[in-house]
Amino acid sequence: MAQRTFSVFGDSISTFEGVTNPANRIYYAGDLRQSTGVLEPEDTWWARVIAHFGGRLVSNAAFSGSMVDGAGFPAGHTPERIAEIAGPDGEEPDDVLVFIGINDYGWAGPWAQAAARSAAMPQCPEALAVPEGAPGPATDESLPSFARAYDAMLARMRKACPRARIWCLTLLPGREPGTGHAAFAYRLRGIDLDDYNEVIRTVAAANGCLVADVRAAGFDYEASDGTHPTERGMEQLAALVVAAMESGGTAAGQAVPSEVFAGLPADLFPDEMRSERRCERETCFGCEFARGTGAVWSCVCDLP
């Protein structure tokens, strides 16, 4: 029986020095490997998933800071990004693990990323024409634009890998270690995280893709800064993805059966790691407890 093959498509959470395409921006490199405890490729969420299924990596096409949306590379929907899914000799994977969208939630639109002159903003005339300045709250176009871009991304991915199983991971909250409670900003710029997840579920189904609905488990993962997983956070993410994939994935509008995540290890998912909405504000902008809602954004708040 042939060994199952995988490609990984995402943002900073899925990068790793020496494995990710070296032309791409990489987060897990140098000192950041030490500070997060993610020291080797085997420590990452995606390598753990691939190992669980006895698989082999074809390509890691992650790009730190990238969004799904945007006028040009490195936006996830662009042909250049999609081309990276294949191996060096054009090998197509059996499975594609797609974990991207948290930067779309964080910036609430490519125009905000461009205004902040993010290192991962598309280098194209449309982006460069955006006046430099501090990005603000989401607009009425933020979510529809994300939906169109996610649809274009999956359509191109499906065309490039017609026989592959494409697994779209939903987005979920991170939590800084040692806090003892949830502190995720669910409406950082004015659009709820789960509104993005509904787009992912719906668009994935429309493109014949599978949804690994890790958000449905109801747990946070440990992250060094509230976003980037620590070694423990990587292990937590991997356990959620494996459980979701072994269930066969879900379709649009389909509830995730309660038994899917019933077997999660208690040491990785104690009750204190359950997701909790501690704030119902419409946006973090103007909030006295918000942390980093200017050009540098964070998914963590300081509510008492």
Per-run averaged pLDDT (10 residues), the chain, 304 residues: 94 98 96 97 98 98 97 96 95 98 95 90 90 89 98 98 97 92 92 97 95 96 95 98 90 76 95 93 87 71 82
pLDDT of residue 299: 79
Contact between 291 and 274 under an 8 Å Cβ cutoff? The reply is no
pLDDT of residue 253: 61
pLDDT of residue 251: 65
Q: How many CA atoms lie within 13 A of 53 on its CB side?
A: 24
pLDDT of residue 260: 92
The full set of domain ranges for the chain reads: 5-273
pLDDT of residue 295: 57
CA distance 164 to 301: 39
pLDDT of residue 2: 87
pLDDT of residue 289: 87
CA distance 43 to 169: 19
pLDDT of residue 291: 81
CA distance 121 to 66: 7
pLDDT of residue 177: 92
Contact between 16 and 60 under an 8 Å Cβ cutoff? The reply is yes
Q: Mark out the alpha helices in 207-266 (DSSP H runs).
A: 231-246
Fold of the 5-273 domain: Rossmann fold (3.40.50)
Q: What is the pTM of this model?
A: 0.96
Residues near 128 by beta carbon (within 8 Å), at least 6 away in sequence: 114
CA distance 273 to 278: 14
3-state DSSP assignment of residue 198: helix
